[in-house]
Amino acid sequence: MPEEISNTVKSGPAGIAGSWPEHEDTTAKWFLISSIAYFFIVGIIAVTIAAKFVWPSLLGTVQYLTYGRLRPLHVNGMLFGWLLAADMGLTYYLVPRLCGVKLWSEKLGVATAALWNVIVLGAVVCLLMGWNQGLEYAELPLPLDVLVVVAWIMFGANIFMTIASRKYDQMYVSIWYIMGTILWTAFVYLTGNFAVLFATGTNQANLNWMYVHNAVGLIFTPVGLALAYYFIPKASNTPLYSHKLSMIGFWSLAFVYVWTGAHHMLHGPISQWLQTIAIAFSLMLLIPVWAVVYNFFATMKGQWHQLKDNVPLKFLMSGVVFYLLTCFQGPMHSLRSVNAIVSKTDWIPGHAHMAVLGAFSFFAIAGTYFMIPRVFRTRLFSESLGNWSFWFLMLGGLGFFTTLWLGGFWQGWQWNNPAIPFIDTVIALKPVWIVRFFSGILMFLGIVSFAYNIMATIIGAKDNPETAAA
């Protein structure tokens, strides 16, 4: 049986050298440029709502700019405007390369990018007007949900057709993860945005939490790991430690993640046995996480010195560390005893930001830093600015995460002592929110330097005669 593989695959780099297709990458470019613009714009909103915790009357007389309107805009803008769009753009870049063929349809891809921008702009208008479905992560009104489904089908068809026409039989890890993302997202999104409308109360909440949990677990996690599995070996020019270990990570993720939605309702009005199932499976999440993280660390063995002056690799490996931490927090938080302390506190945004910003946005930023100079056939505008963007985001992120975890525990312990009036637990957290605001400023500076660096690279590529000829 082992011979099969050597027969079906044109083995070794020598066999494929010189036969690369001419990639256009137009879709990838458009997705990334618009996602970076949203990263910057929504970053302003993020800092504004952090400021509202410190100065609660800020913009308080403008109905369209209250906390309740800006928070969904921040969440949806970052998730769909920035992160998912950037992930899709990078997918359009790496799938054709891993398959050794051109993207199935560049025209369809550009149409998808255009539709995605329509969705994001529509979301801004709707959320500021307060047209909100009232379900977390599913705030967008129904017409926009339908457009998201259409865009996702366009994206999925394009990627699947590319994979189906691939040159090599055996698929690299990133391809499985991307296929998984496309398939699971379809069902997770339909559950969270359409099926919920036919349910009420606890039943609806259960569907809603299945969606919320898996929006992170089966959308951003697999596509983020696809990026990490691609860009860590590429950026360090080191082969991945183990292809087979990555399969354990993938298939256990496929099986375990979807069970855990009810852990958002621990101690709440939902059946105890369902909570127990969610807890058991939350603990099992350690398996896919540690399989993946071990693979990345083992890849870097003997290569850590590269972190010194490799900006994408800095983002990637700190993203891996944050991924490990956030996926340790998650299972621990789902234990009933820990949950009784930290649930519903400021620990929650700390945890959520570490997953979405610390891990998955870091992967996407690294991918952008890696991809943009290559597709525009130029150099990065400034390596040192890239370094600055890393340290701004890193320090801002650490300030944000650590103060909110500690603050969250502190808050939870106070809540569990009913002798303390609620308002005193609010006042006690004010120093935490001040640190959060200044950490937010640091992170925003990181976003600005990242966005400026990329935009200057793109604009500089046009004026560079040497690359224009190439």
Q: How far is the CB of 204 from another protein (least distance, A)?
A: 5
Given the complex with another protein, which of 76 and 117 has the nearer CB atom? 76
Given the complex with another protein, which of 207 and 385 has the nearer CB atom? 207
Is residue 392 within 8 A of residue 466, CB to CB? The reply is no
Q: How far is the CB of 41 from another protein (least distance, A)?
A: 20
Q: How far is the CB of 11 from another protein (least distance, A)?
A: 6
Judged by phi (left if over 0) then psi (alpha if -120 to 50, else beta), residue 102 lies in: beta
Q: How far is the CB of 394 from another protein (least distance, A)?
A: 24
Given the complex with another protein, which of 351 and 392 has the nearer CB atom? 351
Contacts of 280 (CB under 8 A, 6+ apart): none
Size of the chain in residues: 470
Given the complex with another protein, which of 358 and 407 has the nearer CB atom? 407
Alpha-carbon Rg for the chain, nearest whole angstrom, is 22
Given the complex with another protein, which of 150 and 165 has the nearer CB atom? 165
Given the complex with another protein, which of 80 and 281 has the nearer CB atom? 281
Q: How far is the CB of 448 from another protein (least distance, A)?
A: 26
Q: How far is the CB of 357 from another protein (least distance, A)?
A: 17
Q: How far is the CB of 321 from another protein (least distance, A)?
A: 22
| Structure tokens belonging to residue 413 | 């312990």
Given the complex with another protein, which of 125 and 164 has the nearer CB atom? 164
- Cα–chain-centroid distance for residue 410? 28
| 49 closest CA partner among 413, 443, 450 | 443
Given the complex with another protein, which of 224 and 446 has the nearer CB atom? 224
Q: How far is the CB of 255 from another protein (least distance, A)?
A: 4
